[in-house]
């Protein structure tokens, strides 16, 4: 049994040791790794700007220098403006101390429970006799109010700003060299990956330089515009130091989900502190919330789509991980770094688990999900998903894309002995209820899913479903006084697989208004009436399995003799696996189709009948 599990999927001690070493390197080497990571992300942000200037006629080097000069000038100007705003805020904070204390008391009074007030009143009454009589002690001398700390000095502000400014300068220098050596770095990565992986490496680089770069640049523009608009809105509302709060809200938008909440709370608390009343705080919060809703639900989907390619849980988890590893810088770069890892996981096999775990695309196909729910008996969920699918497409497409691939997975597990008898019964019951619910027989009442149950003794789902239709429509599953070439037969050998495929195809065709009827081969002599042979226009047969080719060919020969004017077609679904007997099958039928949808298109009323 152990040999069936691929070694690449095992969690070995070497894998655990390697992961631990990587985590330790990220944590203890964060001071060294943060500047290159920021520079690489910044290079992806700047790349669209350089390409745009190149399309305007500038060479690469002047375009790069012009882009960096513009970014450096904007960053320097914004930094000086924010530094002055921050210095002014730091100097004014002591004056807001009393207002903050007063607002805190008001909030505490509003939040205090009525029972607590009543308890305080009873305590006051109980203490009243103890306070009567006896000399009154002299009043204590008034304690001098503590002197509020003075604002920070210029040297302290410079000391605080020195480290971020130095880190920004280092990132700018690294960014310059990364842009200068971009082609050389690309060649080195290709050579490092090896000649056999050159196509995958080029695909990853193209995806990173185009898709990821465009997303980062768009995100930078959106957040910068948000910061400017937020600053203007807060300034118009009368909030002091509005540019500082606008810039802070734009930066915090890089922190997924929690960043916007933190910026809104900070703006609300500061507005409540500087305003004697509550109007300024409520106004600022309303403006901020309105702007965030407009950007998040209107502008962002139009600019760079609805998604980063990450699942919401992955976005929050990555923010938590990088925040713990790298602190505030990790919070800011968590989404860009995770997007880069997911993109790399599409091309690098060692990182493929990250793309599966963190990517927004589902880790299992619809057919795999159908099979898993069949094994667990989640019929309600399967019917719900099938109903949603059939609102967009027909039952034939559902069979081709979900039902038949899911049953192929079940057949493979059954052949390998990985499912037991109870699970087989669950699959039979689910498929029978699904077929009756999604493609009921013509003339049948709407199925009541909760009351109908398929017996566990039914070894063949197709035979069971055909008996249900015969019980409603008669032995021939419909009238026989019909026009010539109006009946389509879905036949098959007396095998569970063939009977199920024939019944499913018949229901898919009947859903489209085609008079389709299913039967089992060979036909008994007493059921054949030569006078009615011309009623049948087409006969569909499932593609035979390897061990049934002889019986299948014999049944086809007999069909040709009984229905000489009917077309005989077989459907070989891609889920059947490799085909090694096409040469022995194709000469005996009129056509080999690949799906139920092709069969439906072949017999649809839009196609003129032959003969």
**49-98 confidence digits (pLDDT tens):** 888 888 888 888 888 889 888 888 887 888 788 778 777 777 777 777 77
pLDDT confidence bin for 11, thresholds 50/70/90 = low
Which candidate, 464, 474, 471, 469, places its Cα nearest to that of 496?
A: 464
- Whether 415 contacts 547, CB under 8 Å: no
**549-579 confidence digits (pLDDT tens):** 888 898 888 888 888 888 999 999 887 777 7
Judged against a pLDDT cut of 90, whether residue 229 lies above it is answered with yes
Judged against a pLDDT cut of 50, whether residue 136 lies above it is answered with no
Which candidate, 166, 168, 160, places its Cα nearest to that of 71?
A: 168
Q: What is the C-alpha separation between 571 and 488, in angstroms, rounded?
A: 14
CA geometry: angle at 280 spanning 274 and 285, to 5°? 110
pLDDT confidence bin for 139, thresholds 50/70/90 = very low
DSSP reduced 3-state for 492? strand
| Res 143: pLDDT | 44
| Owner of token pair 């992961």 | 19
Domains and CATH numbers, the chain: 31-93+164-180 (no CATH), 367-603 (3.40.50.280)
The more confidently predicted of residues 145 and 553 is 553
Which residues, 6 or more positions from 179, have their beta carbon under 8 angstroms from its beta carbon? 43, 46, 50, 64, 68
Rounded average pLDDT over 515-532: 74
Judged against a pLDDT cut of 90, whether residue 232 lies above it is answered with yes
pLDDT confidence bin for 529, thresholds 50/70/90 = low
Pick the range with the lowest mean pLDDT from 131-145, 297-311, 312-326: 131-145
Judged against a pLDDT cut of 50, whether residue 498 lies above it is answered with yes
| Res 77: pLDDT | 81
| Res 528: pLDDT | 62
- Whether 386 contacts 434, CB under 8 Å: yes
Judged against a pLDDT cut of 50, whether residue 390 lies above it is answered with yes
| Res 540: pLDDT | 93
- Whether 64 contacts 50, CB under 8 Å: yes
| Res 226: pLDDT | 92
- Whether 148 contacts 94, CB under 8 Å: yes
Give the whole-number percent of the chain exceeding pLDDT 90: 8
Rounded average pLDDT over 330-349: 82
Give me the chain's average pLDDT, please.
78
- Whether 175 contacts 43, CB under 8 Å: yes
| Res 153: pLDDT | 56
- The helix or strand, by DSSP H or E, that contains position 57, with its residue range, turns out to be none
Distance in Å from the first CA to the final CA of the chain: 57
Judged against a pLDDT cut of 60, whether residue 292 lies above it is answered with yes
| Res 573: pLDDT | 85
pLDDT confidence bin for 8, thresholds 50/70/90 = very low
The more confidently predicted of residues 351 and 259 is 259
The more confidently predicted of residues 590 and 201 is 590
The more confidently predicted of residues 471 and 282 is 282
151-165 burial code (b ≥16 CB/10 A, e <16) = bbeeeeeeeeeeeee
| Owner of token pair 């098959």 | 492
Q: What are phi and psi of 277, to 5 degrees?
A: -105, -155
How buried is residue 317: exposed, middle or buried, by Cβ count under 10 Å (0-12/13-18/19+)?
A: middle
Give the whole-number percent of the chain exceeding pLDDT 70: 79
515-520 β-sheet, strand order: 515-520, 487-492, 536-542, 567-571, 591-593
How buried is residue 19: exposed, middle or buried, by Cβ count under 10 Å (0-12/13-18/19+)?
A: exposed
């Amino acid at each position: 049994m152990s040999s069936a599990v691929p070694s690449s999927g095992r969690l070995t001690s070497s894998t655990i040791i390697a992961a631990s070493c990587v985590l330790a390197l990220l944590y203890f080497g964060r001071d060294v790794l943060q500047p290159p990571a920021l520079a690489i992300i910044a290079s992806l942000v700047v790349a669209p700007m350089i390409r745009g200037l190149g399309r305007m006629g500038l060479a690469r080097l002047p375009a790069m220098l012009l882009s960096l000069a513009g970014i450096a000038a904007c960053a320097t100007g914004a930094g000086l403006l924010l530094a002055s705003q921050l210095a002014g805020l730091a100097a004014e904070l002591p004056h807001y101390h009393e207002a903050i204390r007063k607002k805190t008391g008001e909030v505490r009074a509003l939040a205090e429970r009525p029972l607590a007030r009543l308890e305080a009143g009873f305590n006051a009454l109980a203490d009243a006799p103890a306070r009567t009589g006896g000399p009154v002690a002299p009043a204590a001398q008034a304690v001098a109010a503590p002197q509020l700390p003075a604002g920070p000095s210029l040297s302290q502000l410079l000391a605080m700003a020195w480290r971020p400014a130095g880190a920004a300068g280092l990132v700018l220098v690294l960014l310059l060299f990364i842009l200068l050596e971009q082609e050389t770095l690309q060649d080195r990565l290709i050579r490092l990956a090896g000649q056999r992986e050159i196509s995958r490496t080029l695909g990853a680089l193209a995806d990173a330089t185009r898709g990821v770069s465009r997303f980062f640049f768009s995100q930078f523009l959106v957040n910068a515009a948000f910061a400017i608009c937020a600053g203007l809105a807060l300034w118009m509302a009368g909030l002091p130091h509005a540019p500082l709060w606008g810039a802070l809200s734009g930066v915090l938008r890089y922190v997924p989900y929690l960043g916007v909440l933190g910026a809104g709370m900070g703006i609300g608390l500061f507005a409540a502190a500087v305003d004697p009343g509550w109007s300024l705080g409520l106004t600022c919060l309303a403006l901020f919330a309105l702007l965030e809703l407009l950007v998040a639900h209107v502008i962002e989907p139009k600019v760079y789509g609805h998604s980063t390619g990450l699942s919401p849980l992955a976005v929050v988890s990555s923010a938590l991980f990088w925040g713990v590893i790298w602190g505030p810088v990790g919070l800011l770069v968590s989404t860009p770094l995770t997007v880069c890892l997911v993109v790399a996981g599409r091309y690098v096999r060692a990182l493929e688990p990250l793309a599966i775990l963190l990517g927004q695309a589902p880790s299992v196909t619809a057919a795999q999900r159908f099979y898993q729910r069949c094994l667990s008996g989640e019929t309600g969920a399967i019917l719900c998903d099938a109903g949603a699918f059939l609102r967009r497409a027909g039952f034939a497409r559902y069979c081709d894309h979900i039902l038949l691939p899911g049953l192929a997975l079940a057949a493979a597990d059954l052949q390998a002995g990985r499912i037991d008898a109870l699970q087989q019964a669950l699959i039979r019951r689910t498929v029978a209820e699904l077929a009756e619910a999604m493609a009921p027989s013509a003339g049948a009442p709407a199925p009541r899913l909760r009351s109908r149950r398929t017996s566990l003794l039914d070894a063949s789902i197709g035979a069971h479903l055909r008996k249900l239709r015969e019980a409603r429509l008669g032995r021939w599953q419909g009238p026989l006084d019909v026009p010539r070439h109006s009946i389509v037969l879905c036949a098959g050998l007396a095998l569970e697989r063939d009977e199920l495929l024939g019944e499913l195809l018949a229901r898919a065709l009947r859903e489209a208004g085609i008079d389709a009827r299913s039967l089992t081969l060979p036909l008994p002599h007493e059921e054949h009436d030569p006078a009615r042979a011309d009623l049948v226009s087409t006969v569909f047969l499932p593609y035979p399995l390897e061990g049934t080719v002889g019986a299948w060919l014999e049944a086809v020969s007999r069909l040709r003799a009984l229905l000489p004017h009917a077309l005989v077609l077989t459907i070989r679904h891609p889920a059947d696996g490799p085909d090694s007997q096409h040469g022995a099958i194709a000469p005996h039928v009129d056509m080999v189709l690949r799906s139920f949808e092709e069969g439906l298109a072949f017999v649809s009323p839009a196609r003129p009948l032959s003969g």
